[in-house]
Structure 1
């Protein structure tokens, strides 16, 4: 169980840091990859700041997961999964306003499902 937990912790931490770093240095490119309409992304002056704030949060959470020993990282992992779930739900809400592409909604449903499954799995242990 400890090895399984350690692999999950390191995977989530690394992924959070890589995605956060990409979004920190190229916020508009990240929104394009995620399927935000170009008109919505280019016209919004606050969007890069918001993306960078989320990126900083992802980097911080990823770093916390990577440096905290496995037994103590459980709460951090749960919080990371919860924030991922909320991010995915936000994309789905934006989809209702037609500001994001279908692929973003599909990706968000996958992320939402994986985060929910991960949270349930680790909560049961």
Structure 2
């Protein structure tokens, strides 16, 4: 179990750092890929700051997962899952208001579902 958990935390940590780094340096491009209206990605002055704040959080969570030994990293992963759920909720609220494309909501729900399934699996062991 420890080696399975260790591999998973390293994968999640690395992915968080890579995605966070991409969003940190190209916030407008990342938001376009995720389905934010193109006009908003070009004209919204607050968008880059908000995306970079979230990117910094992802980088910090990814680094925490990579440097924390496997047994203690379980709590960090639970916090990451909570933050993912909050992000997904924000996207769904944006979708309901018509500000976010359907693919953003779909992608967020897919990520949330995978993270939730992984967490449930680890807790059963």
Q: CA deviation at 1:51?
A: 0.3
Kindly indicate whether the alpha-carbon contact (under 8 Å) linking 1:88 and 1:109 is maintained by their aligned counterparts in 2: yes
Structure 2 unaligned regions, length at least 5: none
* 1:95 matched residue in structure 2: 95
After superposition, the C-alpha distances for 1:11-62 in whole angstroms (9 at most, x for unaligned) are 1100100000000000000100101001222232111000000000000000
* 1:55 matched residue in structure 2: 55
Name whichever of 111-120 and 69-78 sits farther off: 111-120
Kindly indicate whether the alpha-carbon contact (under 8 Å) linking 1:13 and 1:64 is maintained by their aligned counterparts in 2: yes
Matches within 5 A, 1:76-87: 76-87=76-87
Runs of 4+ aligned residues of structure 1 deviating over 4 Å after TM superposition are none
Determine helix, strand or coil for the equivalent of 1:111.
Answer: helix
TM-score with structure 2 setting the length: 0.93
Tell whether 2:45 aligns with 1:34.
no
Aligned partners of 1:89, 1:123: CA distance in 2, in Å? 23
Tell whether 2:121 aligns with 1:121.
yes
* 2:2 matched residue in structure 1: 2
Aligned partners of 1:115, 1:87: CA distance in 2, in Å? 13
TM-score with structure 1 setting the length: 0.93
Structure 1 unaligned regions, length at least 5: none
Aligned residues: 125
Aligned partners of 2:102, 2:110: CA distance in 1, in Å? 13
* 1:19 matched residue in structure 2: 19
